[in-house]
Amino acid sequence: MGLGETVAAALAPMGRVRRLGRGEFLFLQGDRPGHVYVVLEGWLKVTRLGSEGSESVLHLVGPGEFVGIGTVLADEPLPASACALMGAKVLAVPTDKFRRFLLERPVVALDVIRIMASRLHELQQRFHNLSTRRAETRLASLLLSLVGGAGDGPMEVALSRAELAGLCGTRLYTVSRVLNGWQRAGIVWLGRRRVRVLRPDLLAELADGCQP
């Protein structure tokens, strides 16, 4: 869920544009909050480090979506990091200006609440899937969501296997084994840091728990 063009245009004079290279961090877990960010171009992954240094991918954020929106409600250290998957461009709006913006526009404030509720629901659904669905089914569902559903033609996902494993909550070995099998079956094509979905219809069957 993202912002409308009108809202994004209204925010533009309040902030400054930042460009990020591939792998560059927008902010780090534990940083003090100061800005709310709107993604203008590209994709970012939001991750959290565990106590033993393991990284969990919480979600991906694309054009028109907020990053660091939780700072509007709580002035606490950031609970996660945000890193550009490829090149990205974001609008950085100071938190105090963004709060005033919401106070003046209650309809937009309700949209922000919906966005936060949607992300909470997404996380709850992922935790549910971890305990009830096989890794193969979770990976198929993830790829479909990233390419926008079971369309007709080939579609690409610019993520590494390690990043897909983090999003699925499974091991790199498992993701590699499943993807290699799907490539042999003609369902996907694998490149460097990318997966091209050739047969989204068969992927949809796998996401439903069926064998194509």
What predicted TM-score, i.e. pTM, was given to this entire model? 0.71
Question: What's the pLDDT tens digit per position in 146-189?
Answer: 776 544 545 788 788 888 888 887 888 999 999 999 999 999 99
Length of the chain: 212
Q: Is the pLDDT of residue 135 over 50?
A: yes
Instruction: Supply the pLDDT for residue 156.
Output: 81
CA distance 30 to 79: 6
CA distance 13 to 53: 39
Confidence at 25, pLDDT banded by 50, 70, 90: very high
Q: What is the average pLDDT across 37-62?
A: 82
- 176: exposed, middle or buried (Cβ count in 10 Å: 0-12, 13-18, 19+): middle
Question: Which of 20-29, 61-70, 116-125 has the weakest average pLDDT?
Answer: 116-125
Determine contact, residues 39/90, Cβ cutoff 8 Å.
yes
Q: What is the average pLDDT across 201-211?
A: 80
- 109: exposed, middle or buried (Cβ count in 10 Å: 0-12, 13-18, 19+): middle
Q: Is the pLDDT of residue 2 over 90?
A: no
Question: What's the pLDDT tens digit per position in 32-41?
Answer: 888 999 999 8
Q: What is the average pLDDT across 76-104?
A: 90
Question: In the predicted model, what is the mean pLDDT of the chain?
Answer: 82
> Per-residue DSSP letters for 115-163?
HHHHHHHHHHHHHHHHHHS-HHHHHHHHHHHHHTSS-SS-EEE---HHH
| Max avg pLDDT among 84-88, 143-147, 175-179 | 175-179
Long-range own/partner contacts, residues 186-190 (CB < 8 A, 24 or more apart): 187/212, 188/143, 189/154
**Dihedral Cα 84, 89, 93, 94, nearest 10 deg:** 50
Instruction: Supply the pLDDT for residue 61.
Output: 84
